[in-house]
Amino acid sequence: MGEFVRVEVADRIATIRLDRPKMNALNGQVQQEIGEAARLVDADPVVQAVILYGGERVFAAGADIKEMADMSYADMSAHSRTLQDCFTAVARIGKPVIAAISGYALGGGCELALCADFRVAGEGAKLGQPEILLGIIPGAGGTQRLPRLVGPSKAKDLIFSGRHVTAEEALSIGLVDKVVADDQVYTAALEWASTFAAGPTIALRAAKQAVDQGLEVDLDTGLEIERLQFSGLFATEDAKVGMRAFAEKTKPKFTGN
């Protein structure tokens, strides 16, 4: 439990909750606590799925500009590695991760949402990478994860202009996966996460690693990654449970072994 980031676990679902009033500005401490929370839920055998949540009013409005304004090149050169490492820890959680987005997800807040596997946004949500308006560029993965998600042209539009997009536009370009009423954001994310809560832990991790690692390599290498993950799962008890349940026409009860 950090000062501004806490982890709550119920029914095998962990919620990483940002709580730094008023706008969940992502200063250095919050970034560190996000990384610690990510590593915690990744290692917790009880946790099957994860929700990133900033509360009912805002997901995260971005980095703490007042903190950054006084940084020199040398300062940021050192800090930027820590910043990226904290967000990468979220992207590498080996379980399904859903960002529940209410209000603003801007700058670092948008980059944090990009680290999730899925994004649920409220109707009134606004997303964007406005760093260009400060004379800088995204530094927590925005120039890399955003084009991989929505394509280079749409990513450049958002990054070059710094404009905010509505939830409706975000859905249309693939930046979010689902739009719901503002007061249903967390509930919708929880319902989605619950579909993974009884799943085969090792297979879900293998599937996520195969997809994510495969996106970074050529097709032949990606197929080899898939082959090795696929073959390795035949050493798990869950594979035996799943195939036995299929043959017997019963619901599998996976154990995570």
DSSP letter at 26? B
Antiparallel, parallel or unpaired: β 126-128 and 97-101? unpaired
- Backbone phi, psi, residue 176, to 5°: -125, 160
Cα–Cα distance measured from residue 23 to residue 72, given in angstroms and rounded to the nearest whole number:
25
- Tokens standing for residue 4: 């501004």
DSSP letter at 63? B
Catalytic, out of 36, 111, 169, 224: 111
Contacts of 162 (CB under 8 A, 6+ apart): 128, 129, 130, 131, 132, 133
- Tokens standing for residue 66: 């007042």
- Tokens standing for residue 44: 């917790």
Cα–Cα distance measured from residue 93 to residue 7, given in angstroms and rounded to the nearest whole number:
14
Confirm whether 131 is a catalytic residue. yes
Task: Report which residue type is found at 235.
Answer: A
DSSP letter at 95? S
- Tokens standing for residue 205: 């991790």
Cα–Cα distance measured from residue 105 to residue 126, given in angstroms and rounded to the nearest whole number:
6
Catalytic, out of 33, 131, 226, 248: 131
Q: Write out the H or E segment, with its range, that includes residue 254.
A: none
For the annotated catalytic residues, the residue numbers are 111, 131
